[in-house]
Structure 1
Amino acid sequence: MKKLLFFWKELLATFWFVPVIIIGLAVLLSVSLVSLDNIVNISQEGWIRFFLVNSSDSARSILSTISGAMIGVAGTVFSVTLVALTLASSQFGPRLIKNFMYVRLNQVVLGSYIATYLYCLLVLNAIKDGNGYTFIPSFSILVAILAAIANIILLIVFIHQIAVSIQADKVISDISDIISKQVETLFPEKMGDELKGKKDFDEDKVVSEYQKTISIKSTKSGYLRYIDSEAILEIIADNDSLFELKHRPGSFIVKGEEIGVVYSSTEWQEESIDELVSQFVFGKTKTSQQDLEFSIHQMVEIAARALSPGVNDPYTAIACIDNLTETLCYLAQAKFPSKYRVDEDGKLRVIADVLDFEGVLDAAFNQIRQFSAGSTAVIIRLVEALTTIQNFTKKEGHKKAIINHVEMVLRLGKETIKEKNDLDDLKKRVNQILK
């Protein structure tokens, strides 16, 4: 079920799925309303006569005008979207294009204009005038007019949204929101029951209880996009075995490379091995659903581009640091999942490759620190960010990781900051953490 949910989310991220759904609904709506017009004779008396068409020539003229305008605007919307994607790719990095495709408004706008065009064509085809028989779907035409008015408003909203969406602060804020939702979902992530009481296993001792070793290898090359953890735990428990994962989502795996190792006391059927391998989803690109580092790297890429000599935009880099600080403050207090996963009876079944706080901290700040050489404002903000994170940190292991980053930033400052007052300011802030 979770794997189906993964594919459903990926499908919603495509640029064609929602427009196709809207177009399909428009076809059904046109057939339904024309049928309603054919069954119900809508009175054209009173105020409603001002909105209903009673001439076949007028009806054809109105529908032709609307359909022509809609397909023209659809081309404009498509062009504007491509321009926005091009600007985003050049300014923030090509990996951010998918984030713009996730924006539901862009999909709805494109689908709405094409759907209105198709709706008008179908209703236009239903108009009959000749051989003593006249049929004018007045109510269907009224709906087409209302749809045209709604699309005009939608165009204004779309232009506003596009103008806002390519601003650096907006892009950074959107990525930060995605990361916030991810950390709340992934930490702690369940793969069976969380280990209670006993925190560690003697892995060598547990492995020695099994006589056979089965290497599970990838059947294709690509990025590991998704692992159905619940299904894996169930398969391993049914075969009374132990599974050690060698990779986590986001890793690039070559065909034939080892994904993990199964420790068992009995021979596994080929069907069981195939079933286990099928719980791993591979793709040519990364996805953020189970890979927190992917979203963090998107933020880091924006900061790295901002700090490049050709751009030299420290304020954008500082905004990235600020948003990453929020995420790391949350993770400093979060419970990271144990790499040991047990079944309902408390027996160890899976040894996972899990992401820890130090790994997230490295992913967030290592490259920004490396690209910030010579940018005094960014270096000082890095120390301020680490100070804030330390204030939320309780675990000694987390504090050691923060101190390690502070010392690296200090060494970078000593090597690249030439102004004595700036360097003294940096040392003063570093000393506050070291104390």
Structure 2
Amino acid sequence: MKKLLFWWSKLKSTFWFVPVLIIALGIALPFWLVYLDSTNAFEPKGGWKYLFPSSPNAAKDILSTIAGAMIGVAGTVFSITLVALTLASSQFGPRLIKNFMYDRINQTVLGTYVSLYIYCLIVLNTVKDTDQLEFVPIISVFFALVMTIGNILLLIIFIHHVANSIQADNIIGKISKNLSTNLKVLFPEQIGKAASSTFELEEVRSKFSYTTALKSNKEGYLQYIDAETLMEEVSDKDLFLELYFRPGDYLFLGREMGKIYSHKNLSDEELETLKDNFLTGRTRTSQQDAEHAIHQMVEIAARALSPGVNDPYTAIACIDNLSNTMAYLTTVKFPSSYRIGAHDRLRIYANALTFEGMMDAAFNAIRQYSKGNPPVIIHLMAAMAILWDFAEEQHHKEVIKKHAKMILNLAEISIDEKNDLEDLQERFDAIKD
């Protein structure tokens, strides 16, 4: 079931899914409205009669004008979207293109304009003006007018939205929001129950007679693990599974993903059944990959610090948002690598996320790219000082201190101003204490 939900989530995130649904509605709706026109003799009275077509020629003119305008604006909308994608790719990195492609407003606007164009063509074909029959679908034409006014307002909203969506602060804020959401589904917390204590792995392995390598049958990024089904299969077959990778890691064809410990030799069919719980793809996804959004934000900061862009304030905005995320992570319990299945037995030892790993993903690359950029280096040290105040566990403090020391080492070889170095040293001394 969860695997189906994963595929449903991927389907919804495609650029074409929402427009196709809207276009399908645009094809179905005119049949119902034209049927309503044919079964109800509606006679507009008073001022309303000026809003409805009075003759077949008037209806044809209105529908033809709307159809031509809608397909023209649809082309404009598509062009604006492509310009936004080009700007996003060049300034923020090609991996952020899908954030714009999956934007619901962009999809809705494109689908609505194409849908109204098709709607007008279908209704236009029902207008009859012959000696035998005269039919004017006045309700259908009136609906086209109403939708045209709505689409004009939607175009204004779309232009405003695109102008906002390519601003660095808004992009960073959106990624940060996605990151906060993703942290609620940290892998491997979903697999079984967390163990209350650690286990001696050698002792656990020694209880099984056979060891089988679990090798990847596909290449690509590990996107999803069907945790519930995997735990059920491991428990039913009385296995112990060690996993070396987690969602977001790249798997090579034939590479060992882990080891399976069993009481008997496993058949090829049983191995394939276990492998079916691991889904791979060409790109990383955010559904189970908690570091995906971090790497997106780091990419923005790295490009901002490149000599061709030289935008330290965008990098500082990334540091602020990443620091906020790391401050939250100092207050949460990271998932255990030991996962308990049926009968309270250890079934899976997983490659769990750690605070140190998340800190490395967030700040290592930014520190490396900030060489020779004093404002960013100083802001990195300020971020470490803030995180030091949030941290309560000694392990977290040690990780923060390690990053602060690396930042200070970088400053000593890349900052010439004595006062800046003294300021950084004071911040670092506060962290040490």
- TM class, shorter-length: over 0.9
Maintained 8 Å contact 1:194/1:341: yes
Check if 1:374 corresponds to 2:372: yes
**Hey, what does 2:291 align to over in structure 1?**
293
Report 1:26-425 matches (<5 A): 26-186=26-186, 189-196=189-196, 199-425=197-423
When the two structures are aligned, how many residues end up with a matched partner? Answer: 433
Maintained 8 Å contact 1:337/1:354: yes
The separation in 1 between residues aligned to 2:169 and 2:325, in whole angstroms, is: 16
The separation in 1 between residues aligned to 2:198 and 2:9, in whole angstroms, is: 35
Displacement of 1:50 in angstroms is 2.1
Question: CA offsets, 1:176-231, max 9 Å, x none?
Answer: 111111113327832111223xx100100001000011211111111111111111
Displacement of 1:76 in angstroms is 0.4
Runs of 4+ in 1 over 6 A off after TM superposition: none
The separation in 2 between residues aligned to 1:374 and 1:214, in whole angstroms, is: 50
Secondary structure at 1:292 match in 2: coil
Displacement of 1:270 in angstroms is 3.2
Displacement of 1:129 in angstroms is 1.4
Displacement of 1:131 in angstroms is 2.8
The separation in 2 between residues aligned to 1:59 and 1:83, in whole angstroms, is: 36
**Hey, what does 1:9 align to over in structure 2?**
9
AA of the residue aligned to 1:167: Q
The separation in 1 between residues aligned to 2:375 and 2:81, in whole angstroms, is: 35
Displacement of 1:376 in angstroms is 1.0
Secondary structure at 1:224 match in 2: strand
Maintained 8 Å contact 2:223/2:248: yes
Maintained 8 Å contact 2:235/2:342: no
Question: CA offsets, 1:346-395, max 9 Å, x none?
Answer: 10011111110000000000011011111111111111111111212111
The separation in 2 between residues aligned to 1:35 and 1:409, in whole angstroms, is: 72
The separation in 1 between residues aligned to 2:267 and 2:364, in whole angstroms, is: 45
Secondary structure at 2:283 match in 1: coil
Maintained 8 Å contact 1:329/1:389: yes
The separation in 2 between residues aligned to 1:248 and 1:138, in whole angstroms, is: 59
Secondary structure at 2:64 match in 1: helix
Question: CA offsets, 1:298-356, max 9 Å, x none?
Answer: 10111111111122111111000000001001111111110111113210011111110
Secondary structure at 2:44 match in 1: coil
Question: CA offsets, 1:142-162, max 9 Å, x none?
Answer: 000011000000000000111
AA of the residue aligned to 1:128: K
AA of the residue aligned to 1:303: A
The separation in 2 between residues aligned to 1:188 and 1:424, in whole angstroms, is: 43
Change (3 A) 1:246 1:188: closer
Question: CA offsets, 1:46-97, max 9 Å, x none?
Answer: 3332222120000000000000000000000000000000000000000000
The separation in 1 between residues aligned to 2:307 and 2:76, in whole angstroms, is: 35
Maintained 8 Å contact 2:216/2:257: yes
The separation in 2 between residues aligned to 1:190 and 1:165, in whole angstroms, is: 33
Displacement of 1:168 in angstroms is 0.8
The separation in 2 between residues aligned to 1:208 and 1:14, in whole angstroms, is: 47
Maintained 8 Å contact 1:187/1:335: no
Structure 1, 166-175 or 264-273: larger mean CA deviation: 264-273
Maintained 8 Å contact 1:188/1:334: no
RMSD: 1.1
AA of the residue aligned to 2:321: N
Displacement of 1:280 in angstroms is 0.7
Maintained 8 Å contact 1:188/1:336: no
The separation in 1 between residues aligned to 2:169 and 2:385, in whole angstroms, is: 23
Change (3 A) 1:187 1:236: closer
Maintained 8 Å contact 1:106/1:158: yes
**Hey, what does 1:22 align to over in structure 2?**
22
Maintained 8 Å contact 2:186/2:353: no
The separation in 1 between residues aligned to 2:221 and 2:257, in whole angstroms, is: 12
